[in-house]
Amino acid sequence: METREKGEAPSARYRVSRVGLGSLSKFGCVLGALVSLVPSLLIGSGGLLALKGTRRLLEGWQEVELRLLGQPIPIDVVSLLNLEGVLRQVQVLDTMSWLLLIAFMAATCLLGGLLFLVVGDLAGWIYNLIARISGGLEVELTEARQPRRGHRDG
Q: How far apart are alpha carbons 94 and 52 in whole angstroms? A: 6
Predicted pLDDT of residue 70: 79
- Residue 68's DSSP bridge partners are 71
User: Does residue 1 surpass a pLDDT of 70?
Assistant: no
Boundaries of domain holding 120:
21-140
User: Does 150 map to a domain?
Assistant: no
Q: What is the pLDDT of residues 16-51, one digit of tens each?
A: 888 899 999 999 999 999 999 999 999 999 989 999
| Domain tally, the chain | 1
pLDDT digits (tens, 9 = 90+) for 98-135: 898 999 999 999 999 999 999 999 999 999 999 999 98
CA-to-CA dists, residue 87 to 44, 72, 95, 142, 149, angstroms: 20, 25, 12, 66, 68
* Residues 79-101, mean pLDDT to the nearest whole number: 87
Rounded Cα gap, residues 16 and 139, in angstroms? 8
What pLDDT, on a 0 to 100 scale, did the predictor assign at position 119?
Answer: 94
Question: Do the domain assignments include residue 85?
Answer: yes
- Bridge partners of residue 139, in order along the sequence: 14
Cβ proximity of 97 and 46 under 8 Å: no
pLDDT band at residue 6, thresholds of 50, 70 and 90?
A: low
Strand pairing of 64-68 and 71-75?
A: antiparallel
Q: Is residue 151 part of a domain?
A: no
101 is a domain residue: yes
